[in-house]
Amino acid sequence: MFNSTAYINGKVYTMEREGAVCSAFAVRDGKFIYCGADDEARRMADETVDLRGAVVLPGLIDTHEHLYSYAGNFEKLMLGHVGSMEELKETLRKYAENVPAGEWIYGFGFDNEFFTGSKAMPTRYDLDEACPNNPVLLSRSCMHFFSANSLALKAAGIDRNFKPEVEGNVRFDAEGEPTGVVCDAAGARLASLVPDKLASLEAKKNVLEKAIHELNTHGLTGVHAIQGRHVDLMEYTNAYQELSLEGRLTARIYLGYDELPNCCIRTGLGDDMVKYGFYKLYADGNFGGYSAALLEPFSDRPDTCGQANYTQEEMTARIRAAYERNIQVAVHVIGDRAADMLTTAIETVYRENPKPDPRFRMIHMSVLNEDVIQRIKKLPVMVDIQPMFIHTDMPWIEARVGAARAPYVNPFGRLLREGILLTGGSDAPGTPHDPWEAIYAAVTRKNLEGKPEGGWYPENCISVYDAVCMYTKNAAYSSYEENIKGTVTVGKLADFIVLDEDVFAMDPMKIKDIQVRSTYLGGKLVYERSGV
């Protein structure tokens, strides 16, 4: 058994600062003990690995993923490939042929905005046509909107007399009948009726282990796993803890829950593998379902400004309750009205009781305005962005918000120029979780097909270095772990990845195609590409 290993003859981007490079490092007991020249690294180690000129980066961290939901999708009818309403119905019809009558069918991943022909959400009538004998619930890729057939609606007690918990969570037609399109709390109500194929803890552990290994193939060594109970996006601390105890956990987990803990704990409870992180609030819905809370009406639906999930007073009170318990706060915000409300709430609680280092997290912040930008840059906040929204939302978002607001949609470059710290996440399974595709999107402002020429509002492009920072040292900072990970630095955890290509020297258009050669967690190899 070797006590320490030297990795030499590489191009190691430490990410401590832009351009910081060394050729070698040494690892002992799961940590970096040296970073520098080949000869010294070799001298300090019992074993030597020749990197043969390969590029090394710190392990990547996804700061926004619904990890258990992603893992659980292995057990669902996957619909990410469907390109039209007819294809969706045919896929459902064929799937139902092998499902006993009366058994629930739960599907995930369609995006009606990419449908050819009609881009309307599937209704109960569409689903009844394809599958009349089984209750059906289909989750849109955004995870906020759902389509249910008549049997599913009946099981949930959703009829013309139903009063949703949040106004607007159930759509009704002109005759007052539910259409089958629901969102958020109403969707969770339906999802709670679907029998859980992963009811046992062991089943949960098995799918999580499989999912995390898949993340390792993209160079991810850390995930901020986030629960959204009100939209049926659950997380299970005990599953991660047991995987860790059994030596089966191959990424570090920082947990966010949309409920305050009912015991006296605070942010940071846990260890280097599994740690309690933050209290997550959902301020509004999303653009796809016209439920983002806007200050002015949607440009293509002038009858609505969307909806906020809380009054200003309720939001402020919830943030204050966590803040006073020294629990980090993270809030999902899509529309500019929700962003204004969140900014007001943070201003209020922070000025009432300034604390040294609260690190409020603003999630998404999809459409902003000058007032909000100028206010948040004065606050102890960071913005957790999802660069792949460029790919998923670009085809339709400008129609939603209009030309005047479009430059403020996902304004990554502008936020950086204002000195606001950004972290990178995927929001998987709602969007693809490959961080290289996300880095590409942040740098180029183009979709995966390379459109539009020149990028979408290219003034909001960011540099490759800033994009990689979002997934390394910025991500570590967001979880109060900048002293133990996020850079290749002596004393930090030896989480690192090996690439065949230099992300900082290559054509940015090819970043999305980067392949990871190997991934290490605490100096232990957790993934190696076949054929290497």
Residues 133 and 33 in one domain: no
The vertex-137 CA angle with 131 and 143, nearest 5°, equals: 145
Residues 294 and 437 in one domain: yes
Residues 26 and 115 in one domain: no
pLDDT of amino acid 166: 77
Residues 40 and 130 in one domain: no
In a domain, 225, yes or no: no
Instruction: Look at residue 335 and tell me whether its pLDDT is greater than 80.
Output: yes
CA distances, 60 to each of 215, 375, 475, 519 (Å): 10, 30, 8, 10
Cβ within 8 Å of residue 107, ≥6 positions away: 76, 77, 78, 79, 92, 95, 136, 137, 138, 139
In a domain, 16, yes or no: yes
pLDDT of amino acid 211: 95
Q: Which residues of 336-358 are buried (b: 16+ CB within 10 A; e: fewer)?
A: bbbbbbbbebbebbbeeeeeeeb
Mean pLDDT of the chain: 95
Residues 75 and 177 in one domain: yes
In a domain, 479, yes or no: no
In a domain, 405, yes or no: yes
Report the number of distinct structural domains present in the chain. Answer: 3
Residues 44 and 175 in one domain: no
> CA-to-CA distance for 275 and 254, rounded, in angstroms?
5
How many residues in total does the chain contain?
A: 532
In a domain, 333, yes or no: yes
Confidence of residue 72 (pLDDT cuts 50, 70, 90): confident
The vertex-435 CA angle with 430 and 437, nearest 5°, equals: 85
Query: What is the Cα gyration radius of the chain?
Result: 23
CA distances, 394 to each of 357, 417, 443 (Å): 35, 23, 15
Confidence of residue 2 (pLDDT cuts 50, 70, 90): low
> How many angstroms from the chain centroid is the CA of residue 274?
18
Residues 183 and 316 in one domain: no
Give the orientation angle of helix 201-216 with respect to helix 237-245, to 10 degrees. Answer: 70
Domain that holds residue 427: 283-462
pLDDT of amino acid 135: 97
Least confident of 53-67, 68-82, 150-164, 271-285: 68-82
Confidence of residue 431 (pLDDT cuts 50, 70, 90): confident
pLDDT of amino acid 80: 86
Average pLDDT over every residue of 431-438 = 93
Among 155, 171, 191, the domain-final residue is 191
Q: Residue 276 in 3-state DSSP? A: strand
Instruction: Look at residue 164 and tell me whether its pLDDT is greater than 90.
Output: no
In a domain, 247, yes or no: no
Among 169, 191, 213, the domain-final residue is 191
Q: What is the DSSP secondary structure assignment for residue 301, as one 8-state letter?
A: B
How do residues 354-391 score in pLDDT, each as one tens digit? 999 999 999 999 999 999 999 999 999 999 999 999 99
Residues 90 and 131 in one domain: yes
pLDDT of amino acid 463: 98
> CA-to-CA distance for 138 and 142, rounded, in angstroms?
11
Confidence of residue 197 (pLDDT cuts 50, 70, 90): confident
CATH number at residue 403: 3.20.20.140
CATH number at residue 180: 3.10.310.70
Cβ within 8 Å of residue 313, ≥6 positions away: none
Instruction: Look at residue 348 and tell me whether its pLDDT is greater than 90.
Output: yes
% the chain with pLDDT above 70: 99
Cβ within 8 Å of residue 524, ≥6 positions away: 30
CA distances, 376 to each of 342, 382, 406 (Å): 10, 9, 20
| Strands 220-226, 60-65: pairing kind | parallel
**Closest listed residue to residue 253, CA positions, set 72, 381, 66, 385:** 66
In a domain, 485, yes or no: no
